[in-house]
Chains A and B, each alone.
Chain A
Amino acid sequence: MWTVFHLQWLRLKREPLLALTFLVLTVVFVFFLAGSQGVQTITIQTYSDELSEAEIDQWLERLNQSETFEFEHNDRSEVEDLIRMSEISFALELGEDHYQYLVGQESHFLGTANQHIEQVYRSQLRKEEVKQRFPDLVIEERDFLKMDIQALTTNSSDNNDIVTHVITGMTLYFAMYTILLSMINLVTEKRSGTWNRLVFSPLKKTSIYLGQLTHYFCLGMIQIGLSFYLFYHILDYNFGSQYFTIAMVLMAFVFAVVALGMLVMGLVQSPQQLQAVIPIVTTGMAMIGGAFWPLEIVSNDILLFLARLVPIQYGIEALKGAILYEQNVVELLQPISILLLMGVLFMGIGVNLIERTK
Chain B
Amino acid sequence: MLEVEGLKKTYKTTKAVDGVQLYLNKGESVGLLGPNGAGKSTTISMMSTLITPTSGDVRYNKKSVLKHPDIIRPVLGVVPQEIALYEELTAYENMRFFGKIYGLSGRKLENKVDEVLELVGLSDRKKERIKRYSGGMKRRINIAVALMHEPEVLIMDEPTVGIDPQSRSYILDMVRKLNREKGMTVLYTSHYMEEVERLCDRVYIMDHGHIIASGTKDELKSILSGEETVFVEVQQMSLKLVEQLVAHEAIQKVTEVEKGYKVIATKGEDLLADIFKLASTIDVKITGIHVQTPTLEDVFLHLTGRKLRD
Contacts and interface: CB of A to CB of B under 8 A. Distances in A.
A197 interface: yes
Best-buried of A14, A192, A194 by chain B (most CB within 10 Å)? A194
A193 B102 contact: no
Interface string A54-96: 0000000000000000000000000000000000000000000
Nearest to A196: B50
Interface residues of B, number: 29
Interface in B40-71: 45, 48-51, 70
B102 A15 contact: no
B93 A10 contact: yes
A199 interface: yes
Best-buried of B74, B100, B101, B145 by chain A (most CB within 10 Å)? B101
Interface in A188-213: 192-194, 196-203
Given A200-B48, A202-B73, A202-B103, A193 B97 contact: no
Contact of A358 (B51, B101, B145): B51
A14 B89 contact: yes
Nearest to B45: A196
A197 B89 contact: no
Given A3-B97, A14-B88, A201 B73 contact: yes
A11 B50 CA distance: 25
A302 to B, nearest CB: 38
B98 A193 contact: no
A3 B101 contact: yes
Contacts of B83: 192-193
Contacts of A358: 51
Contacts of A203: 101
A202 B78 CA distance: 12
Nearest to A7: B97
Nearest to B88: A14
| Interface SS of chain A | helix
Contacts of B97: 3, 7
B164 interface: no
Nearest to B76: A200
B85 interface: yes
A50 B20 CA distance: 99
B82 interface: yes
Contacts of B257: none
Contacts of A196: 45, 50, 80, 84
A200 B100 contact: no
A194 B50 contact: no
A202 B102 contact: yes
Interface in A7-30: 7, 10-11, 14-15
Nearest to A193: B84
B170 interface: no
Contacts of B49: 199-200
Nearest to B103: A202
B89 A10 contact: yes
Given A10-B93, A194-B85, A3 B50 contact: no
Contacts of B89: 10-11, 14
Given A200-B48, A200-B49, A194 B101 contact: no
Contact of B88 (A11, A197, A198): A11
5 contacts: A14-B89, A192-B84, A193-B84, A194-B85, A197-B145
Given A3-B101, A10-B89, A14-B129, 7 more contacts: A11-B86, A11-B88, A193-B80, A193-B84, A194-B84, A200-B48, A200-B50
